Structure 1
Amino acid sequence: MTRVPLSVLDLSPISEGSTVQQALRNTVDLARQTEEWGYERYWVAEHHFVGVASSSPAVLIGLIAAATNRIRVGSAAVQLGFTTAAAVVESFGTVDALYSGRIDLGVGRSGQRRAEAVAGDGRGMPERVSSPDPSGLFPPAPAEAAPRRTPLLSASLAALQQPEAQAPDFVGQLDDLAALLAGTYERDGVPLTARPGAGAGLSVWLFGSSAGPTAREAGARGLPFAASYHFSPGTTLDAIDEYRRSFVPSANLSEPYVAVSADVVVAESDEQARGLAASFPQWVYSIRSGHGAAEYPNPDGATPLTDEQYRLVADRVETQFVGSAATVTDRLEALQEATGADELVLTSVTYDHVDRLRSYELLGKEWGLPRLRV
């Protein structure tokens, strides 16, 4: 049977006791391998001041593109609240100038939402909550899915933005991105041409987790949309529905195109995969509790979560697809059918790099991806 393409989402996780340097070497190695195994795209995340090494997506994308030959490489996603449209277009335009036709510019609203959380009541934008789903694929969203005000969040924003800077308007930044890429940008009535950037062959995507401005703008602008199921499974269907309702055909797309992300761990057997994923709850708890992603824990020494702690992460743990390649393929097929996804984006995090490689290799083979001849 013909299945939808699979892509990779990589946070460049730093394993407990390892280093930033090794995490980045692992990322480049995984990109080379997944290209050979037939994966469609290689997405890198943007996170700051936590236990992952993916803080500079444009730089990392350039390194990955230089180390590979075919696979598309993109950002999932640039946090527009921490930068300007001009800086994004110039940096990604630089990479595109050397690797034209392979670079995807994924952008998201995370920076704006974090700024709102600090400036407001600490909760940021509320999420819509889906009803429980009997399949277990779409549990209700956690009660506090939006960012909360924490010392780490406040300090991070202070470090990432100029003093007294305000997070730019998201829709306005999207307008600026489009104008800069088209070569029609003006500021205060003065035409400005981004070089590199203007006329770049970048494919622009929007990444979102709820039925909010990101999903609506992706649809209204006729852009591809990536729904972050791995981050917020309970709001995925709402986000996709909003995107499809808002969709207007464009020069980029004649009909909606949806990618859906999922956490997976694949091994030779279900039991072995469960062992590899045993410290995933602790890692997600470090994120959800407001402390920021910790270095990925060794499953052999991870302390079990309390019942109260587990409730905060249950939706993500129970929607992580863990097992043999056949087991995970069945779950992914169900997710694809339920969402109508045109592409699945997989993030597989394990303590040992060799296990992460094997996870993607086994799944790609079971899925029937076309391997490159080397």
Structure 2
Amino acid sequence: MLDLVPISSGSDAPTALRNTVELARAAEEFGYRRYWVAEHHLNPGVVSSVPALVIQAVAQATREIRVGSGAVLLGHQTPLSVVEQFGILDALFPGRIDLGLGRSGRPRKAPEASASPEGTFTDEGLYLPPRFTGFGQLLQSPRFRLQLSLLQQPGAEAPAYEEQVADILALLAGTYVDQDGTEARPVPGAGADVDVWILGSSAGESAEVAGARGLPFAANYHVSPATVVEAVTAYRRAFRPSWALAEPYVAVSADVVVGADDDSARRLAAGYAAWVRSIRSGEGAIPFPTPDEAYARQWSDGERELVADRVDTQFVGAVETVIERLRALWRATGADELVITTITHDHADRVRSYEVLARAWAKRA
């Protein structure tokens, strides 16, 4: 499970955090393997700005489920600060912590493959929509520029992503030595028993770093559905065995809403388009709308085009409908794990969606 700690329309941040703790307890009961929290900043409708703090609250409220970041954004922190945070989490909850790493909006290396401009279906039945081309414009939005200015010291520049990942791995292993031969052993942190993951959306730097370092890779179908197949292909092509893995290991995310039937699920998911529009327009994620608020909204053709790839690839319906689409995603990517993220306005509907999916998937398995 991936949780952004969303605020619902008419609610507030404390309620969202309490809902996350309750949802994490339920996730463990339902049999989910991991509970990850995202990192987002200056969004009116999400609370997951400091993953380590949310992870601590979730781990404290649960017993066995692995808890981690999906992902810590390395453009906003130093490798040492990340290792120290997750070293403390490992000391408090040994053997349960995942450290997922992301690049946080850095300039992207152009992928080798190109998604179809019309959208296409794979042989396995997975829909790959036209590639979303608005990320560059989004990164130039006033809110994003303000976010960067507030999250970095004036004049600071983050090192290359590959260097940051290498430093984190060395600090965790207790083998970090600088150019002058001085060692750095964070306490806690050095020797921490955390699983390190790389998260990525395309066949670019993240996939290549994950493969070259022999780390598990999580590909974001729910963020960039057009490029998920090329992302996992690039990762497997770049993979080299390591102390962590002998073979590639892939998780793939999907945005899911399960209802009693297809029509009721579509109503539960009605606020998703407006929520995605608020993110991609640069204003920041709004509190998740009610179905009535969503249906009352007037849409322009440009706004519909802005969110089409995400709306068309959200898995919404009765549980058997959703499972068939998840199986297509699984087959098309060869995923070892699926990462499910679900947002509805009503918290009880969200919990129920996760529960029904978990129980039905277990029966099918």
- The TM-score with structure 2 as length reference comes to 0.94
Among candidates 103, 118, 130, match of residue 140 of structure 1: 130
Deviation at 1:108, TM superposition (A): 0.7
- TM-fit CA distance, 1:139: 1.2
Q: What corresponds to 1:84 in structure 2? A: 78
Counterpart check, 1:306 vs 2:296: no
Contact 1:38 1:369 in 2 (8 A): no
Counterpart of 1:104?
Answer: 98
Aligned AA (1:151): P
* Closer/same/farther in 2, CA of residues 209 and 369 from structure 1, 3 Å limit: farther
CA distance in 2, matches of 1:105, 1:328: 29
CA contact (8 A) 1:11 1:53 kept: yes
The equivalent residue for 1:48 is 41
Is the 2:109–2:205 contact (alpha carbons within 8 Å) kept by the matching residues of 1?
no
Q: Aligned with 1:226: secondary structure?
A: strand
Question: Which of 9, 16, 25 is the aligned partner of 2:18?
Answer: 25
Distance 1:87 1:359 in 2: 36
Deviations 1:147-187 (A, max 9, x none): 43011011111111111111221111111101100111123
Matched length: 353
Correspondence for 2:360 among 341, 358, 366: 366
CA distance in 1, matches of 2:60, 2:210: 29
Query: Match for residue 248 of structure 1?
Result: 240
Match of 2:115 among 108, 130, 135: 130
Matches within 5 A, 1:221-300: 221-300=213-292
State whether structure 2 residue 329 is matched by structure 1 residue 335: yes
Aligned-partner SS, 1:301: helix
Structure 1 Cα separation of the partners of residues 5 and 58 of structure 2: 12
Secondary structure (helix, strand or coil) at the match of 2:291 reads: coil
Q: Post-superposition shift, 1:369?
A: 6.9
Instruction: Tell me the equivalent position of 2:7.
Output: 14
Q: Helix, strand or coil for the counterpart of 2:251?
A: strand
Q: What are the ranges of 5 or more consecutive residues in structure 2 without an aligned counterpart? A: none
Partner of 1:215: 207
Contact 1:145 1:232 (C-alpha < 8 Å) held by counterparts: no
* Post-superposition offset of 1:292: 1.3
Distance 1:48 1:168 in 2: 21
Partners of 1:369 and 1:360 lie apart in 2 by: 14
The 8 Å contact of residues 275 and 299 in structure 1, kept in 2 or not, is answered as yes
CA distance in 2, matches of 1:169, 1:244: 22
Q: Residues 58 and 178 from structure 1, CA distance in 2 versus in 1: closer, same or farther, beyond 3 angstroms? A: same
Closer/same/farther in 2, CA of residues 136 and 245 from structure 1, 3 Å limit: closer
Question: In 2, distance between residues paired with 1:311 and 1:172?
Answer: 37
Q: Secondary structure at the residue paired with 1:180?
A: helix
SS in structure 2 of the partner of residue 264 of structure 1: strand
RMSD over aligned CA atoms reads 1.4
Question: 1:144, CA displacement in angstroms?
Answer: 1.9
Decide whether the 8 Å contact of 1:37 with 1:369 is kept in 2: no
Q: Distance in 2 between matches of 1:18 and 1:305?
A: 25
- The residue that corresponds to 1:94 in the other structure is 88
What code does the residue aligned with 2:225 have? P
In structure 2, relative to structure 1, the CA distance for the partners of 1:369 and 1:214 (3 Å cut) is farther
Q: What TM-score do the two structures reach when normalised by structure 1?
A: 0.92
Q: Aligned residues: percent identity?
A: 56
1:164-223: CA deviation from partner (whole Å, max 9, x where unpaired):
111221111111101100111123431111001000001000000001110001001110
Moved over 4 A (4+): 124-128
Matched residue SS, 2:75? helix
Other-structure match for 2:346 = 352
Moved more, 44-53 or 161-170: 161-170
Contact between 1:207 and 1:228, CA under 8 Å: does it hold in 2? yes
Report the counterpart of residue 171 of structure 1 in structure 2. 162
Give the CA deviation at 1:136.
Answer: 5.5
